[in-house]
Amino acid sequence: MKKSNSQSRPILPQSVQRLFLSATLFLALPLFGADAALSPLAKTMDYELKILEHDLVPLAEAMPAARYDFAPTNGEFKGVRTFGEQVKHVAGGIYGASATVLGEKPPVDLGPGGGGAADLKTKEEIVKFLKGAFAYAHRAMATLTEANSGEEVDAGWGKHSRLFMADVILWHSYDHYGQMVVYVRMNGIVPPASRPRK
């Protein structure tokens, strides 16, 4: 090691300095990872959301665009939503509940009754709306902690805990997923989640 002319401290060789910097950055990498910052509760809820997304988005994509206006008529189905309206309703619910978890207004127009903007007509527009809802919900789930999950938030139809509203995203969506499965099966389509794995 050389000594600096102006000081009596030793100067480390550049290779040792680089090695030290590289080791420091390598050890700090987990601190910058997305999952490393999530609480155990947020990880669990986000994992549940990923399962839902893995089932629901492919189902919405499986129904042909020409059948998005399909609603059952045989049996007790008077006045039920069409398939496209079901998808919009689920996406609107996801946006609304996520906004409540985040404590903010939804970033999109949810239309009357929160069922999705009335101007969404095509399959492409509706599926894009659904995918946007999931992206927003992942953001909401990431904010959950053991400390804030019990905080009371106003859903507009009552006050509930943040965790309850995060759970609404899941159970409400699966309720409609079940109805949508019936719709696609009535159109001769096996839901993607029920197809044999190759």
Counting Cβ atoms within 10 Å, is residue 69 exposed (0-12), middle (13-18) or buried (19+)? Answer: exposed
Interacting residues of 163 by C-beta distance below 8 A, sequence separation 6+? 41, 45, 144, 149, 150
Amino acid letter, residue 3:
K
Which domain covers residue 85, as residue numbers? 37-193
> What's the CATH number where 165 sits?
1.20.120.450
Domain contains 5: no
Q: Is the pLDDT of residue 52 over 70?
A: yes
pLDDT of residue 195: 86
**pLDDT tens for residues 83-100?**
999 999 999 999 999 999
Q: Is residue 198 part of a domain?
A: no
pLDDT band at 67 (very low <50, low <70, confident <90, very high): very high
Report yes or no on 1 lying in a domain: no
Domain presence at residue 4: no
The whole-number average pLDDT for the span 38-42 is: 92
pTM, to two decimals: 0.80
Split into its structural domains, the chain has a count of: 1
Beta-ladder partners of 159: 154
Mean pLDDT, rounded, for 108-113: 82
